[in-house]
């Protein structure tokens, strides 16, 4: 067993790299990496099962740095243990196109499991990792083969615990008994504004005990105590564990340790010199790490052995259970079943043949019921609104009662639900979907942004999509939310108008592997729209001609969701009046604008400037399609409390308003 002195010297390598990188960048947070270095040294050198030469090894332990402002901690760990992160990458901290960004960014460097920085979301992602591990293990492990068997470790700080999302996620983790989740709390008592006791006096231990966690307390600079606590945490398999580590922020800095001065600013060259001296660090050259320390940290040989042992185990599993092994490999690769396209297209055709006029939330439930039996990787859930979002289906099994289930009752935890789903997606083996009312997407907004930023396939089911939800009133009536989602990079927003468009939306969402999708669905019944095979095929392009003009094209009506019916009624009356008008249904504008210029021109000819958009949401988004000389029928205010029919009339979102707008333009 290594001596405390050697361990401290190894941990000091993290401190050296952190303070030097932050100093060179003249930007960053040295305090957290320096304060948590001893905890990291024990975890990464003695417990973490990982392979630096294959960061995607399926049965690796997951590590999450929830207090992501301390990013130099994970960068130092990745560099020291042998990942593809060179000393030049460390020197390029916070520079353009660097692997070592300002906060850990998933996809920038091997070994970064999730993007962290928005505090609290990292620990929520970790709950998702642990949930995915437990569920996947229950689905695939056999009595003689524990093929999925790993831990999730998370570091978090005061800020993570102050953010409400940590309550949502950690409460659920306790309820679900995620025993392979182990979190280390950097209890240093300092945030940006100074000593936190004036604004954060929670009894954290009692809080987590109330959640159903095991709680341990240690000196965060006593490696022996950290080791013993980690062993105890791993021994508890029915509860997640929080190890509260009392630490000193910026440990090693003679004049700044324990103060907010080292939280988010460089130490300064003079203080760095004093820190080196205090630590007994012989080499004063910035970024200098001895070969001896690199050898002590190198995890490549151990990692290769761990993966090789697992590969041997998997080969035995494959021989004994070839069907399960093939299915597990498929799911971990993120590939859909080979017959998915055929199954989905057959279902879309069946919807068109049936021609039901139902709410799109019901159409969504029907789509889940049709597609999910062929997609065992689906792991869905709703924020206490399953009966309204219609996300439950006949084959749904709650994970709270069935470890191998496929449905999560998230409770009223919109933000936590979505951040957990991000962790599930990042873990692999699942396609998560979440659900709530569209209005309460606002609670989950930053987690939706994070799934887009991280390019994760998370499907968000948002129902009660407009003033059409009626009597609940303006608090529940979303008007600006769809525009907000559409303006999010690398995110696709579908607002289908009937059963067929809803089925296509689900198909595309499931096929979109590198971006999240939000499905915007109605409470009220919507009229079925008859289509040709060519039109059905065009739905996937995001926008298409649903009703063509008679004679010369004079005007175009663009509509989505429930307002497509208004547009079609207007088309009928205008056509009878001799007006050459077409209706363009645009269920996904973000996909439409990615089509070829020829296709876009064929749907929205640039020469036709008489354009009207109609949608029961904020009007501003649609100017990009109708131009400043076009007209938009929609919302410019919040809603009111009344039955849906009265509201559409009150706000002027009617067939008559569309007809009048078209006539005024031609």
Distances (CA, A) of 384 to 66, 392, 400, 482, 666: 26, 11, 14, 22, 49
Q: Which residues of 330-367 are buried (b: 16+ CB within 10 A; e: fewer)?
A: bbbeeebeeebeebbeebbeebbeeeeebbbbbbbbbb
491 is in an annotated binding site: no
The catalytic residue among 41, 168, 307, 414 is 414
Contact, 250 vs 277, CB < 8 A?
A: no
pLDDT at 552 (0 to 100): 97
Cα 423 to Cα 436: distance, rounded to the nearest angstrom: 18
Q: Where in the chain is the domain with CATH 3.40.50.970?
A: 5-303, 339-520
361 has binding-site annotation? yes
pLDDT given at position 5: 61
Residues constituting the chain: 666
Count Cα atoms within 13 angstroms, Cβ side, for 428.
18
CA 12 to chain centroid: 34
Residue 190 marked in a binding site: yes
- Give me the CATH code for the 5-303 domain, please: 3.40.50.970
Q: Which CATH class is domain 339-520?
A: alpha beta
How crowded is residue 97: how many other Cβ atoms within 10 Å of its Cβ?
7
Find the helix or strand (DSSP H, E) in which 191 lies.
Answer: strand 190-191
Supply the DSSP string of 11-23, one letter for each residue.
HHHHHHHHHHHHH
Tokens of 45: 């050198």
Q: With a cut of 50, which residues of the chain have pLDDT below it?
A: 1
- Helix orientation angle between 499-511 and 360-371, rounded to the nearest 10 degrees: 50
Strands 544-547 and 581-585: antiparallel
Known binding residue 97? Answer is no
190-191 and 214-219 strand pairing: unpaired
Residue 158 assigned ligand-binding role: yes
Number of alpha helices (DSSP H) and beta strands (DSSP E) in the chain: 27, 18
Question: What pLDDT score was predicted for residue 4?
Answer: 60
Residues 68-109 pLDDT 10s = 999 999 999 999 999 999 999 999 999 999 999 999 999 999
Q: Which has the closest alpha carbon to 78: 29, 130, 33? A: 33
Measured CA to CA in angstroms, residue 461 lies from 124, 335, 502 at distances of 20, 22, 11
Q: Is 79 annotated as a binding residue?
A: no
Domain with CATH 3.40.50.920 in the chain: 541-664
CATH level 2 (architecture), domain 541-664? 3-Layer(aba) Sandwich (3.40)
> Is 159 marked as a binding-site residue?
yes
Query: How many CB atoms neighbour CB 597 within 10 A?
Result: 8
Q: Which helix (DSSP H) or strand (DSSP E) does residue 665 occupy?
A: helix 655-665
117 is in an annotated binding site: yes
Listed in sequence order, the DSSP H helices in 563-654 are: 563-576, 589-592, 597-603, 623-626, 644-650
Residues 498, 360: contact at Cβ < 8 Å? yes
Residue 270 known to bind ligand: no
Distance separating alpha carbons of residues 212 and 179, to the nearest angstrom? 10
464 is in an annotated binding site: yes
Q: Is 638 annotated as a binding residue?
A: no
Angle at 293 between CA 290 and CA 299, to 5 degrees: 130
Assign residue 450 a region: left if phi > 0, alpha if psi is -120 to 50, beta otherwise?
alpha
The CA angle 264-267-270, to the nearest 5 degrees, is 165
Q: How far is CA 84 from the centre of its chain?
A: 25
Judge whether 414 counts as a catalytic residue: yes
Distance CA 431, CA 449 (A): 17
| Burial class for 652, CB neighbours closer than 10 Å (0-12, 13-18, 19+) | middle
Residues 6+ apart with CB under 8 A from 401: none
User: What's the pLDDT score for residue 3?
Assistant: 63
Nearest 5 degrees, angle CA 307-CA 312-CA 318?
120
Does 84 appear as a known binding residue?
Answer: no
For residues 124-160, one letter each, b for 16 or more C-beta atoms within 10 angstroms of the residue's C-beta and e for the rest, the string is bbbbbbbbbbbbbbebbbeeebebbebbbbbbbbbbb
Q: How far apart are CA 661 and CA 518, in angstroms?
A: 30
């Amino acid at each position: 067993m290594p001596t405390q002195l050697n361990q401290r010297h190894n941990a000091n390598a993290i401190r050296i790299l952190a303070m030097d990188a932050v100093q060179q960048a003249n930007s960053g947070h040295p305090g957290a990496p320096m304060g948590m270095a001893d905890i990291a040294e024990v975890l990464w050198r003695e417990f973490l099962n990982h392979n630096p030469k294959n960061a995607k090894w399926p049965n690796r332990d997951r590590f999450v740095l929830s207090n992501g402002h301390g990013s130099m901690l994970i960068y130092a760990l990745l560099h020291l243990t042998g990942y593809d992160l060179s000393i030049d990458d460390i020197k390029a901290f916070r520079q353009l196109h660097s692997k070592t960004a300002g906060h850990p960014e998933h996809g920038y460097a091997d070994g970064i499991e999730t993007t962290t920085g928005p505090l609290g979301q990292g620990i929520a992602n970790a709950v998702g990792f642990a949930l995915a591990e437990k569920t996947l293990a229950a689905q695939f492990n056999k009595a003689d083969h524990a093929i999925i068997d790993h831990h999730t470790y998370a570091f978090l700080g005061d800020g993570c615990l102050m953010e409400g999302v940590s309550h949502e996620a950690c409460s659920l983790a306790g309820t679900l008994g995620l025993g392979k989740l182990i979190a280390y709390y950097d209890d240093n008592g300092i945030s940006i504004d100074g000593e936190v006791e004036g604004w954060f006096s929670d009894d954290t231990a009692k809080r987590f005990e109330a959640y159903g966690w095991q709680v341990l307390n240690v000196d965060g600079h006593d490696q022996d105590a950290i080791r013993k606590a980690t062993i105890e945490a791993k021994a508890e398999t029915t509860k997640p564990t929080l190890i509260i580590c009392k630490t000193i922020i910026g440990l090693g800095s003679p004049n700044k340790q324990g103060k907010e001065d080292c939280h988010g600013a460089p130490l300064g060259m003079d203080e760095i010199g004093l820190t080196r001296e205090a630590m007994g660090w012989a080499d004063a050259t910035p970024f200098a790490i001895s070969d001896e320390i690199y050898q002590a940290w190198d995890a490549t040989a151990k990692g290769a052995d761990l993966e090789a042992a697992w590969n041997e185990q998997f080969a035995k599993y494959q021989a004994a259970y070839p069907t399960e092994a093939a299915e597990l490999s498929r799911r971990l690769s993120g590939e859909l079943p080979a017959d998915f396209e055929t199954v989905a297209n057959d279902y879309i055709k069946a919807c068109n043949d049936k021609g039901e006029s139902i709410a799109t939330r019901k159409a969504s439930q029907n789509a889940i019921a049709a597609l999910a039996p062929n997609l065992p990787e689906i792991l869905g859930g709703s924020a206490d609104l399953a009966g309204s979002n219609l996300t439950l289906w006949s084959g749904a099994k709650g994970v709270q009662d069935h470890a191998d289930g496929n449905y999560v009752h998230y409770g009223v935890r919109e933000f936590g639900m979505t951040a957990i789903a991000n962790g599930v997606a990042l873990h692999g083996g699942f396609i998560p979907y979440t659900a709530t009312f569209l209005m309460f997407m606002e609670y989950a907004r930053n987690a939706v942004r994070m799934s887009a930023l991280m390019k994760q396939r998370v499907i968000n089911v948002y129902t009660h999509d407009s003033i059409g939800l009626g009597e609940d009133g303006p608090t529940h009536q979303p008007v600006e939310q769809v525009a907000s989602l559409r303006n999010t990079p690398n995110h696709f927003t579908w607002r289908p108008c009937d059963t067929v468009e809803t089925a296509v939306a689900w198909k595309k969402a499931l096929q979109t592997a590198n971006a999240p999708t939000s499905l915007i669905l109605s409470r009220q019944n919507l009229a079925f729209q008859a289509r040709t095979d060519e039109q059905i095929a065009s739905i996937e392009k995001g926008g298409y001609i649903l009703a063509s003009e008679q004679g010369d094209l004079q005007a175009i009506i663009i509509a989505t969701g429930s307002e497509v019916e208004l547009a079609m009624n207007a088309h009928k009356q205008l056509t009878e009046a001799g007006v050459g008008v077409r209706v363009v249904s645009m269920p996904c504008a973000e996909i439409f604008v990615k089509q070829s210029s020829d296709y876009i021109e064929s749907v929205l000819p640039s020469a036709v400037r008489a354009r009207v958009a109609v949608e029961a949401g904020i009007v501003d988004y649609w100017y990009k399609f109708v131009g400043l000389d076009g007209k938009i029928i929609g919302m410019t205010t919040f809603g009111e409390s009344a039955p849906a029919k009265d509201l559409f009339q009150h706000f002027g979102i009617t067939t008559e308003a569309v007809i009048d707008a078209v006539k005024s333009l031609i």
